[in-house]
């Protein structure tokens, strides 16, 4: 007698859930697979919501379609995948002993019980809202669901909103900021902490903030929202912690998300210290017949070994694939952890990161670190190269790469992807300095930007170069430190843009003939820079060769200076 088909129930129809269901189906044609999805839509490309809101494309169905353009609705899942998808249906309880899920069809209120042999929980996350008055006013929205995207797109198309506030200066906050800007809405981003984009260290964060302001958007840091203000139930403004009131007709909350674990917790599954469902590297929960993936789970950092939350769409799909395989072929696939890699488009800038920032490394107890900042083009100038500004973090003793950040109008994605794989492979700076990467002028410099970062890091680790970050230079200037600051650019460069921090101009080509203009006390600190500090580094070598013993390079040069300039 034929065996009973394996019964698989998946709760959640966004990313991890449908991926797990589809992978399981490809491995077992006969399994009975059911997806329970609270929302109307399935398998939504949620990272595309800001671009739909901003009018980059107008066809909403592109957010729920296959690469071939077929809408992934319940009929598609039934016909193409042989998967039953119950939409507008909420899973309300799990009976682990009976191995059933009770769910309710929201439009009708009808309930049904679905039996399972294997269960997948992919309930995602829910938006965090500030605990302040007025949060329920008409005009206070988020951008977490497709319904949210529809609501914001309707606001855009109605062209009635003149001023908007985005609450939260993270990735989603700035994607929303750009979308509203494209709609002609004057937008202010409110960030409660001292810096935007918390995965960046301070200098790069300041550079991004400066760039955003050039596009007419405003940023207020170190100030949270104390209340949403309104009249007749409609939003009219926000009041900040310092008492400032900003008029606005729209506020988009983007302060983060929390794992949606209510169903899992009520079923008695283990919940981690960070609030996500505990899973092993097979994505099993504390119940071996129940798997979980996506924004509702906790992951392991491949760098520190600590538990982390990583609510990213790509990771949800990877976890879903692991789950789907293990549903059919137990313990045959593993999801070992994450390096925290991300990227964001902000107007014509790209902001990318992988691994730990210097601040995050210190917070994790990795205090013996080295860091470098490097500025340079992504491809040659004769190919219209664009600027990149990067920061790399490594363990000082072992040279192991711990993190990397990159911003600018150039090709950030390629560089972040390269370092992400280096971190994934636990490579060191010694491995990266001679990496065999693809080179041709349309795609890279002969020494790619990432390799140059590794070279600079190697020089610092070996003591060949002493470097200062721009913030360290600024601190010296502000404190009146006894240092000699040397700008090694050409006179035309100096006249077109200068820092105004008490620097002396001696171009690189003239330096050997003008050494008498430098401090004759060769132990006095000399800080050298140029546009990107390549010439600065070479001039530091000249000075060291001529007996100056305390020469430091301002890393990244003028390009990395985020503070006010003289011109």
Residues of the chain with pLDDT under 70: 1-2
Q: What confidence score (pLDDT) does residue 357 get?
A: 97
User: What is the greatest pairwise CA distance in the chain?
Assistant: 97
Q: May I ask the CATH class of domain 467-560?
A: alpha beta
Beta strands 525-529 and 551-554 are parallel
Beta strands 483-487 and 525-529 are parallel
What is the pTM assigned to this prediction? 0.94
Tokens of 419: 């370092």
| Ranges of each domain in the chain | 7-124+258-328, 140-255, 341-461, 467-560
Tokens 């949606």, located at residue = 260
Check for a shared fold between 140-255 and 467-560.
Answer: no
Q: What confidence score (pLDDT) does residue 544 get?
A: 97
Distance CA 300, CA 308 (A): 6
Residue 338: closest CA among 311, 300, 284: 300
Specify the length of the chain in residues.
567
Phi, psi of 133 (to 5 degrees): -65, 150
CATH 3.50.50.60 assigned to domain 7-124+258-328? The reply is yes
Q: Which residues, at least 6 apart from 57, have a Cβ–Cβ distance to it below 8 Å?
A: 51
In order of 286, 332, 375, 378, the CA distances from 442 in angstroms are 51, 42, 19, 9
Helix 171-182 vs helix 146-158: crossing angle, to nearest 10: 30
Q: What confidence score (pLDDT) does residue 567 get?
A: 84
Q: Which CATH superfamily is domain 140-255 in?
A: FAD/NAD(P)-binding domain (3.50.50.60)
Q: pLDDT digit string (tens) for 98-156?
A: 999 999 999 999 999 999 999 999 999 999 999 999 999 999 999 999 999 999 999 99
Under 8 Å between Cβ of 13 and 20:
no
- Going by the DSSP 8-state scheme, the letter that residue 512 receives in this structure is G
Distance CA 368, CA 359 (A): 12
Q: Which residues, at least 6 apart from 114, have a Cβ–Cβ distance to it below 8 Å?
A: 9, 34, 36, 100, 101, 102, 103
CATH no., domain 341-461: 3.50.50.60
Q: What confidence score (pLDDT) does residue 2 get?
A: 55
Q: What confidence score (pLDDT) does residue 1 get?
A: 44
Q: What is the CA radius of gyration of the chain?
A: 27
């Amino acid at each position: 007698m034929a065996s009973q088909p394996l019964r698989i129930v998946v709760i959640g129809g966004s990313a991890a859930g449908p991926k797990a269901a589809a992978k399981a189906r490809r491995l077992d044609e006969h399994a009975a697979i059911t997806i329970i999805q609270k929302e109307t839509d399935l398998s939504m490309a949620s990272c595309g919501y800001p671009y739909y809101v901003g009018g980059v494309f107008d066809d909403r169905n592109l957010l729920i379609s296959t690469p071939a353009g077929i809408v992934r609705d319940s009929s598609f899942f039934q016909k193409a995948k042989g998967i039953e998808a119950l939409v507008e249906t909420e899973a309300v309880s799990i009976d682990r002993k009976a191995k059933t899920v009770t769910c309710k069809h929201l439009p009708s209120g009808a309930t049904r019980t679905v039996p399972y042999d294997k269960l997948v929980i992919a309930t995602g996350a829910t938006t965090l809202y500030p605990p302040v008055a007025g949060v329920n006013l008409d005009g206070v929205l988020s951008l977490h669901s497709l319904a949210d995207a529809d609501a914001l797109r309707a606001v855009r198309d109605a062209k009635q909103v003149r001023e908007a506030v985005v609450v939260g200066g993270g990735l989603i906050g700035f994607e929303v900021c750009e979308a509203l800007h494209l709609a002609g809405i004057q937008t202010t981003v409110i960030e409660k902490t001292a810096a935007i984009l918390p995965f960046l260290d301070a200098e790069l964060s300041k550079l991004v903030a400066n760039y955003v302001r050039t596009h007419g958007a405003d940023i207020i840091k170190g100030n949270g929202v104390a209340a949403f203000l309104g009249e007749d139930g409609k939003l009219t403004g926000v009041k900040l912690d310092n008492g400032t009131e900003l008029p606005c007709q729209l506020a988009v909350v983007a302060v983060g998300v929390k794992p949606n674990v209510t169903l899992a917790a009520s079923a008695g599954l283990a919940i981690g210290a960070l609030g996500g469902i505990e899973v092993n590297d097979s994505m099993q929960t504390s119940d071996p017949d129940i798997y979980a993936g996506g924004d509702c789970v906790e992951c392991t950092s491949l760098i520190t070994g600590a538990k982390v939350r990583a609510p990213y769409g790509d990771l949800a799909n990877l976890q879903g694939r692991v789950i789907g395989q293990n549903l059919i072929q137990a313990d045959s696939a593993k999801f070992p952890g994450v390096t925290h890699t991300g990227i964001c488009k902000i107007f014509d800038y790209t902001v990318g990161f992988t691994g730990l920032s210097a601040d995050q490394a210190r917070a994790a107890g990795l205090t013996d670190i080295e860091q470098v900042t490097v500025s340079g083009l992504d491809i040659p100038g004769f190919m219209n190269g664009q600027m990149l500004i990067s920061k790399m973090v490594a363990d000082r003793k072992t040279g192991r790469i711990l993190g990397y950040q990159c911003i600018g109008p150039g090709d950030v994605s390629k560089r972040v992807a390269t370092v992400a794989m280096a971190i994934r492979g636990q490579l060191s700076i010694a491995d990266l300095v001679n990496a065999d990467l693809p080179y041709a002028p349309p795609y890279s410099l002969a020494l790619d930007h990432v390799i140059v970062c590794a070279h600079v890091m190697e020089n610092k680790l070996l003591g060949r170069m002493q470097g200062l970050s721009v913030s360290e230079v600024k601190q010296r200037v502000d404190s009146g430190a006894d240092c000699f600051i040397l700008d090694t650019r050409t006179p035309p460069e100096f006249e077109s843009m200068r820092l105004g921090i008490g620097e002396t101009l001696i171009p690189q080509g003239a330096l050997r003939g003008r050494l008498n203009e430098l401090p004759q006390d060769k132990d006095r600190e000399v800080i050298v820079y140029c546009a990107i500090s390549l010439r600065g580094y070479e001039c530091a070598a000249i000075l060291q060769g001529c007996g100056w013993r305390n020469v430091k390079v301002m890393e990244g040069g003028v390009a990395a200076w985020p503070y006010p300039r003289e011109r």
